[in-house]
């Protein structure tokens, strides 16, 4: 630390480049500070730093991170604690550009594996960013001294030593996370696809906030008696709530009665949530994929013939490509692409679906004959799909009762609470005289896997690699821009950051080699991540990997599928 202080007083007021000599490691009283990378100027992305505290000083006992759930939770907790201490101890921006800021990549309502913190039997390490202070391009050495040798030790002291953390909060955080993983793993055994605990708070504060609506304004969730199940988790013990069975579930109800809110909570149930989120005991099988219409998207050789055939001018739908999909073709492709990666639950909402993809009623059947309608609506394939692939569906549909015919479970949302009305719905539909005809062959078609062609995934713009993720919605990939705004289960910008580097990693490992299918490529990358950690996808070897949060293979596939330059060959068996 004295060495660091000396350098900083020596380079005070010198040109910014002199900061470069800071690169290296410095022993502080009870931790080591690593300066991995020094930014080029005060406006550039901030410098990359790490703090490593040996475990004999940090004092986190092994049982706090004894399995993957607990470890992810503890790492996440420490990141949040570090972030909170930054807010408290850092004076923040002072000087030019990003001078004086300290930042760590921190999650929100979800607990997701990230690269901001690593814990093991030897040490705790946080990876963070600091804007080295300057005025213009002139180094503010003494200000930097204050930041690195006063603020940072205080932040570390408060957040990286077990004795200084709120032990009951740490315990709860870890246990809630472990319970969620446990419950999620139980679903299959109970033949369920989702579980919503009684007492959950599903609505969010607003359309732009993911925080829970205040309890006083919320109707607390309660399962209909017929669907109530009791599951057992290791920490909380027995929990009661609604179990949604495998098969076809339709959620009906009047407008503004909470249908979409329930479906959104189910859709987010693939992630663990923080205590007091309100959805921390809403769990969904991890291969659940939200499906929506996405007009204008690019589609590359997807076999959508189970849903669409006989297009005008004889356009082929066995290897359907377009650079401008319609509502229905985009929704069909989204389904087939999800099945290609092994989705076992599809989630659809009428609010974001193409009507003609979902339904075609008996009146329409009389006026527009089958041979004039390319679309086999989802209603006529949803059971076939379940029959052949065991992929369940949960569908929100307040606008048509046609789906009663094919539903196993019908949930009626009434003033934000679900009731089971399957029998009543079946009775009504069966007593109808003028019923719609089924329009599908008895089989859902094959899922044709696709092999990406490496040269079509090009991260270069001219002679330089250009990859940048922007927020939740966008990746700049070479000369292309990937639009992820309709990929609704991405919840964290750091997942988008990881997605782009996973694609690069797959290229560099030669997993994208013109032989592996998309599903195989993603299997290999996630295998590597499981084995070596999420750090592995970073191309930086001498500096910390920065800010990644783990995406699922479905979201990585979604990005590749939306890369407009992508070319594939279909794998025919
Ligand atoms: P629907 O899809 O049935 O039209 P939404 O799910 O969009 O209805 O919900 C309508 C409104 O009600 C939203 O503003 C939502 O936040 C609110 N809401 C949903 N569930 C609850 C609840 N359990 N308690 C209080 N408000 C809720
Ligand atoms: Mg709705």
223 pLDDT exceeds 80? yes
Quote the pLDDT of residue 546: 79
Q: What confidence category does residue 312 fall into, taking pLDDT thresholds of 50, 70 and 90?
A: confident
Q: How far is the CA of 354 from the centre of ligand 1 (A)?
A: 22
432 pLDDT exceeds 90? no
CA 146 to CA 8: how far, in whole Å? 10
Helix (H) or strand (E) holding 228: strand 228-233
User: Which whole number is the average pLDDT over 134-158?
Assistant: 97
In 78-222, where do the E strands start and end?
Answer: 102-103, 110-111, 117-119, 123-130, 134-135, 138-139, 192-197, 204-206, 209-212
Quote the pLDDT of residue 109: 98
The neighbourhood of ligand 2, an ion, using CB within 5 A, equals 259-260, 351
User: Which whole number is the average pLDDT over 221-250?
Assistant: 98
- Beta-carbon contacts of residue 325 (< 8 Å; ≥ 6 apart): 294, 295, 296, 297, 298, 299, 333
Evaluate: CB of 202 within 6 angstroms of ligand 1: yes
Quote the pLDDT of residue 358: 97
Quote the pLDDT of residue 443: 83
Q: What confidence category does residue 105 fall into, taking pLDDT thresholds of 50, 70 and 90?
A: very high
Nearest CA to ligand 1 atom 20: 258
Nearest CA to ligand 1 atom 10: 256
Quote the pLDDT of residue 310: 82
Pocket test for ligand 1, best of 223, 264, 416, 417 (most atoms within 8 A of CB): 416
Q: How far is the CA of 219 from the centre of ligand 1 (A)?
A: 9
Evaluate: CB of 212 within 6 angstroms of ligand 1: no
Evaluate: CB of 261 within 6 angstroms of ligand 1: yes
Alpha helices per DSSP H over 341-420 = 355-358, 362-367, 382-389
Quote the pLDDT of residue 262: 98
Task: Please state the atom number of ligand 1 nearest to the C-alpha of residue 255.
Answer: 4
Nearest CA to ligand 1 atom 23: 219
Q: How much is the pTM?
A: 0.97
Q: What confidence category does residue 359 fall into, taking pLDDT thresholds of 50, 70 and 90?
A: very high
324 pLDDT exceeds 90? yes
State the chain's mean pLDDT as an integer: 96
Q: What confidence category does residue 313 fall into, taking pLDDT thresholds of 50, 70 and 90?
A: confident
Quote the pLDDT of residue 311: 84
Q: How far is the CA of 64 from the centre of ligand 2 (A)?
A: 41
DSSP state of 322: E
Evaluate: CB of 243 within 6 angstroms of ligand 1: no
């Amino acid at each position: 630390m004295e060495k660091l202080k000396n350098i900083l007083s020596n380079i005070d007021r010198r040109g910014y480049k002199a900061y470069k000599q800071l690169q290296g490691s410095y022993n502080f009283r009870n931790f080591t500070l690593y300066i991995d990378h020094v930014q080029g100027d005060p406006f550039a992305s901030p410098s990359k730093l790490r703090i490593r505290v040996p475990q004999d000083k940090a004092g986190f006992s092994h049982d706090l991170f004894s399995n993957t759930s607990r470890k992810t939770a503890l790492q996440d907790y420490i990141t949040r604690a570090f972030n909170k201490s930054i807010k408290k101890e850092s004076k923040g921006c002072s000087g030019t550009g990003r001078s004086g800021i300290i930042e760590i990549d921190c999650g929100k309502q979800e607990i997701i594996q990230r690269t901001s913190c690593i814990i093991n039997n030897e040490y705790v390490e946080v990876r963070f960013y600091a804007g080295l202070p300057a005025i213009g391009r002139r180094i503010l050495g003494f200000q930097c001294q204050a930041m690195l040798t006063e603020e940072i030790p205080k932040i570390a002291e408060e957040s990286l030593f077990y004795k200084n953390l709120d032990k009951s909060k740490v315990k709860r955080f870890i246990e809630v996370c472990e319970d969620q993983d446990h419950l999620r793993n139980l679903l299959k055994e109970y033949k369920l696809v989702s579980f919503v605990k009684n007492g959950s708070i599903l609505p969010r504060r607003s359309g732009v906030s993911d925080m829970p609506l205040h309890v006083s304004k919320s109707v607390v969730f309660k399962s209909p008696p017929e669907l109530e199940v009791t599951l057992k988790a290791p920490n909380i013990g027995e929990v009661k709530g609604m179990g949604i069975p495998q098969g076809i579930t339709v959620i009906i109800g009047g407008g503004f009665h909470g249908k979409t809110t329930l479906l959104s909570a189910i859709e987010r149930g693939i992630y663990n949530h923080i205590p007091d989120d309100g959805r921390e005991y809403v769990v969904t099988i991890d291969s659940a994929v939200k499906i929506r219409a996405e007009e204008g998207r690019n589609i590359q050789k997807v076999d959508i013939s189970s849903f669409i055939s006989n297009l005008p001018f004889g356009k082929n739908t066995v290897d359907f490509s377009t650079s401008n999909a319609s509502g229905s073709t985009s929704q069909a492709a989204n389904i087939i692409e999800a099945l290609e990666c092994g989705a076992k639950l599809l989630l659809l909402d009428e609010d974001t679906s193409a009507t003609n993809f979902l339904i075609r009623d008996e009146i329409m059947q009389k006026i527009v004959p089958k041979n004039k309608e390319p679309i086999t609506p989802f209603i006529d394939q949803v059971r076939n799909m379940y029959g052949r692939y065991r992929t369940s569906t949960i569908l929100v549909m307040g606008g048509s009762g046609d789906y009663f015919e094919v539903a196993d479970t019908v949930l009626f949302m009434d003033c934000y609470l679900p009731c089971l009305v399957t029998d009543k719905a079946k009775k009504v539909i069966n007593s109808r005289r003028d019923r719609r005809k089924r329009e599908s062959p008895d089989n859902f078609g094959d899922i044709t896997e696709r092999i990406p062609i490496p040269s079509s995934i090009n991260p270069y713009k001219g002679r330089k690699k250009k990859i940048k993720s922007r927020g939740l919605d966008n990746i700049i990939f070479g000369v292309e821009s990937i639009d992820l705004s309709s990929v609704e289960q991405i919840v964290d910008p750091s997942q988008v950051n990881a997605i782009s580097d996973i694609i690069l990693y797959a290229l560099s490992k030669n997993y994208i080699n013109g032989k592996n299918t998309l599903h195989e490529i993603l299997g290999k990358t996630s295998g590597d991540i499981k084995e070596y950690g999420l750090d592995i996808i970073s191309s930086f070897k001498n500096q910390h990997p920065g800010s990644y949060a783990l995406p699922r293979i479905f979201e990585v596939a979604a990005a590749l599928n939306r890369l407009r330059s992508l070319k594939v060959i279909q794998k025919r068996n």
